[in-house]
Every structure is written in structure tokens, then in C-alpha cells.
A and B are shown apart, each in its own frame.
Chain A
Amino acid sequence: MNTFLEEVNEKINGVPIQRCYHCRKCTAGCPMTSAMEHNPNRVIKMIQMGRREAVLNSATIWLCVSCETCITRCPNEVDIARMMDVLREIAIGTGVGAKEKNILKFHEAFLTNIRVGGRINEPSMMVHYKLKSGDLFSDMAMGMDMFMKGKLSLISPRTKDMKSVRRIFEKTKQS
């Protein structure tokens, strides 16, 4: 059986993360470290030590905003942003779920909206997210304000060839 390190490297399908020499440049530039329980460099070390559960159960992998600062600055081209995507995919795929539940619920609401209409309809996506997350009242006033200004509309043009969009979702579905 693959080690956790091998599993992650295989999915990244690029520069293996053990090329990291722990200079922590990635971490110095990461905008989210103050909110993360493990900084990006530490996540690499944890993967190397095989700490699968701790990594997959962390809020860190969900708080990464994919700003790509780490990969831009890493002297060894270690793609931490992609690594975080991979870790999220493994967490979802193996049923660990998301430590930051609302972040995943937001992604789900967003993708459901595309699957249904081909394009995002912001109000309907937000309603879906709010029902799923139970976070019903935040942003209500702002939403109303945008609604009054005519920025949000319940109906917006959608993709006509929905068959092809549904096919993409069908064929990329992860078991």
C-alpha cells in the first residue's frame, strides 16, 4: 500500500513534495497562516511523517484560499496550492469530510448551481448555501441593498446546451 506521501505525490502529478528543503518561504508569504492550525511548511512535514488523519482533519486545508503565493515563491517549485487541492479531494473522497463545514458547503452550493444552470445565479446560489449552512441571516441587509440596486436578479441567462454541462459533471464525478 502507498504511504500517505506517495498518495499525495501521485495525485499532485508534478514536483514531489520531498523536494522541499524547509526554507519556509511559502509560509512567510501565506496570507492565511494566522488562521491555520498548521502552517503550509508544517503540512509538508506532517505528510512526510505519515500523519494522515491530522492533516485530513485539519481546518488548514480548507482555509487555504489558493492564492498561489507559495508556489510562486518556492525555490524548489513545490506546488503547495495544488497539494492543498489534493488534500481536500482526499478528505472528501475518503469520507473524512471537511473540518470547515461551511467552506465545503459553499463549494457544493456553488457547483450545484452550475450543474443546474450552467452559470452561477448569485441569489439562488446564496439561498442554497444559506439553507445548507444554516447561516441564515448574515449578509441579508447587503443582499437587499444589491437587490434594490438591480445588481441581483433571480433570473439570469443560462447555458442552453445543458446536456453537455451535465455530462461534464457526470463524467468527472468522484466515487
Chain B
Amino acid sequence: MKVSYYPGCSLHGTAKEYDQSVRSVSRALGIDLEEIEDWSCCGASSAHSTNFKLSIALPARDLIAAEKKTQDVMVPCAACFNRFKTAEHHLSHDPALKAEVEEIVGGRYQGSIAIRNPIDIIANDIGLEALSAKVVKKLAGLKPASYYGCLLLRPPEVCRFDDAENPVLLDRILTTLGAEARPWSFKTDCCGGSLTISKTTIVTKMVDKLMKMAREAGANCLVTACPVCTANLDMRASAGAKLPVFYFTELAALAMGQEGPEGWFKLHQTDPRPLLQGLGLL
């Protein structure tokens, strides 16, 4: 299948390994990614925290550019995904706002394409069976706590692709890869990502709590689909609390026997290689 691709700024910077693993896994699964031409940043929480109209107009510029091709757009960053979905929601419910934003951006928004997260595309379009067929190395012994964070699923009437309180698609993908996803009740608890730079002490407490709860659930790592969550969890946990954090696509690439994972793992703050070597997975 062909989809448009919106990497967002993080995937070109601190979340390189997410970008590369999404591309690599997509290629293997027959998902053809076409980067949106000349995209710009979605504005993230800084735009909506201070300027509502700006927070709709920035993603609208990208959506309008994406609509030149009639295919769904894959948005791997949960933060961008949320901003795109929120913009879509307001543009399709508020005609006056839509007209104003179209004038600001200089183009018409049709609402003709679906905004999709890679979890959704892989679990629902490619399917777990097809994914399973590509697995050459079961991730036995890996016990991830899947972490969706806040921005993938909330609010449900905007995001809706999995349950908002107890989502399962990421767990199912991980199980398909041969890992033993641990049940825990903090899948969608907030990690404080948007305050990670300006309010570090508060955020460290939030991250430590998540790490502690993941350990209590028997997990030996955390898995995300968001560069903001990953950066935050990986950077802000205190020394004693740290668990390795993976992008789910890095683990998919590893299980599919692809080139690349080892190089990506070197980029993590908390080196996950000892864990994987101990399990004979690297």
C-alpha cells in the first residue's frame, strides 16, 4: 500500500532511529512511504498552549499539502499525530474556522485523507498474520510494558483507533514479535513530556513512577510509538529507576532480522544492548 509520510521534526533529529526503523519496517511490510512535500512543523504543544488559530493553521498547511495525493498519511510521532487529528476535528466541525484557516494557509482543505498512526496501519491494514510471517527471530525473554502515552488516544472522539483507557494494538504487535507484553495499568498515563525542558524536577518524578510501575508489572523494558515520550522516559528517569526504552519499530526490525537495530540502540541514552545480549537477541 502507498501512504504519505509526515516524519515531523523529531524524526529528523533526536528520534532518527524511529524514522529509520519506521522506514525499514514499512519497506519490508510493503508499505510505500512518500514524504509530504515541503512539510512544516505541526506546532506541537507550544502552539496550542499559546495560540489556538496557529495550532490549527500549522497542521492544516501540511494536511493540504498531503491531500495532493489521495492516500492516507502516516504520522509516526504521537505528538504530531494528535495535532493533525485535532486540526482535522476542528476543521470538519467548524465551517467558519475552516474558511478562515484556508485563507491563512492559502489552500482548500477537503478532509479527504485519513491520518494514521503506524500502529494502526500495521495492526489493521497489514495485519498481525502478515507481520508474523516476517518474524525470523522471536523476541523471547523480552518483557515490554507498552506505553501509549497521552497523545495517541486522547481525546477518544478525536483520535479513536484503539481503546482510550486500555489500548491493546501495540501489545498485540509486540506479542506477534514473540515478546511477552506485560499487562499494566499505566499505558496511557502521562509522562509530562511537554514540560521536560522547563520543569525537569516534576517530570523526573512522573517518569520514575512509570518506570517503577513497569518493573512491578514484571517488565524489563518500555516500548513507545512517540519520540516525545521516548526522549522523556529515556532522559529523565533517575539512575536507579531506568529501564531501556524502545520504539516499537526498532523491535519489529530486530525480530524481522533486519540490518540497523544495533546502530539504533547505540543512540539510546540507556543502552539496551546488555539486556538484549543477555537474552541472546543481539
Q: In whole Å, how far is B226's beta carbon from the nearest beta carbon of chain A?
A: 13
Q: Are B12 and A172 in contact (CB under 8 A)?
A: no
Q: In whole Å, how far is B130's beta carbon from the nearest beta carbon of chain A?
A: 32
Q: Are A85 and B53 in contact (CB under 8 A)?
A: no
Q: Output the residue of A72, A153, A160, A161 with the most chain B CB within 10 A.
A: A72
Q: Are A111 and B104 in contact (CB under 8 A)?
A: no
* A20 contacts chain B at the CB level, 8 A cutoff: no
* B189 contacts chain A at the CB level, 8 A cutoff: yes
Chain B, Cβ-Cβ closest to A109: B46
Q: Are B13 and A120 in contact (CB under 8 A)?
A: yes
A66-85 vs B: 1/0 string, CB under 8 Å?
11110110000000010001
* B192 contacts chain A at the CB level, 8 A cutoff: yes
B70-110 vs A: 1/0 string, CB under 8 Å?
00000000000000000000000010000000011110000
Q: Are B14 and A122 in contact (CB under 8 A)?
A: yes
Q: Are B190 and A119 in contact (CB under 8 A)?
A: no
Q: Are B104 and A146 in contact (CB under 8 A)?
A: no
A164 to B40, CA, bound (A): 10
A104 to B45, CA, bound (A): 11
* A107 contacts chain B at the CB level, 8 A cutoff: yes
* B135 contacts chain A at the CB level, 8 A cutoff: no
Q: Are A167 and B104 in contact (CB under 8 A)?
A: yes
The one of B13, B39, B54, B193 in contact with A121, judged by C-beta atoms closer than 8 angstroms, is: B13
* A40 contacts chain B at the CB level, 8 A cutoff: no
Interface size class of A (residues with CB under 8 A): 35 or more
Q: In whole Å, how far is B61's beta carbon from the nearest beta carbon of chain A?
A: 6
The residues of A that contact B40 with a CB separation of less than 8 Å are 114, 118-119, 159, 165
Q: Are A165 and B61 in contact (CB under 8 A)?
A: yes
The one of B54, B155, B198 in contact with A169, judged by C-beta atoms closer than 8 angstroms, is: B54
Instruction: Report A4-33 residues with CB < 8 Å from chain B CB.
Output: 13, 31-32
The one of B16, B51, B156, B200 in contact with A172, judged by C-beta atoms closer than 8 angstroms, is: B51
Instruction: Report A135-175 residues with CB < 8 Å from chain B CB.
Output: 138-139, 142, 145-146, 149-153, 156-157, 159-161, 164-165, 167-169, 171-172, 174
A142 to B236, CA, bound (A): 10
Q: If A89-B50, A120-B9 touch, does A65 touch B195 (CB 8 Å cutoff)?
A: yes
Q: In whole Å, how far is A81's beta carbon from the nearest beta carbon of chain B?
A: 8
Q: Are B14 and A174 in contact (CB under 8 A)?
A: no
The one of A68, A107, A126, A151 in contact with B46, judged by C-beta atoms closer than 8 angstroms, is: A107
Q: In whole Å, how far is B87's beta carbon from the nearest beta carbon of chain A?
A: 12
The residues of B that contact A13 with a CB separation of less than 8 Å are 94
Q: Are A168 and B57 in contact (CB under 8 A)?
A: yes
Q: Are B39 and A85 in contact (CB under 8 A)?
A: no
Q: Are A168 and B61 in contact (CB under 8 A)?
A: yes
* A100 contacts chain B at the CB level, 8 A cutoff: yes
* A49 contacts chain B at the CB level, 8 A cutoff: no
* B213 contacts chain A at the CB level, 8 A cutoff: no
Q: Are A65 and B46 in contact (CB under 8 A)?
A: no
Q: In whole Å, how far is A55's beta carbon from the nearest beta carbon of chain B?
A: 16
Q: Output the residue of A110, A142, A167 with the most chain B CB within 10 A.
A: A110
A141 to B144, CA, bound (A): 29
**Which B residues have a C-beta under 8 Å from some C-beta of A?**
9-10, 12-14, 16, 38-41, 43-54, 57-58, 61, 94, 103-106, 150-151, 154-156, 164-165, 188-190, 192-195, 197-200, 202, 206, 235, 266-267, 269
4 other contacts beyond A65-B193, A67-B190, A118-B41, with CB at 8 A cut-off?
A13-B94, A66-B150, A108-B46, A120-B9
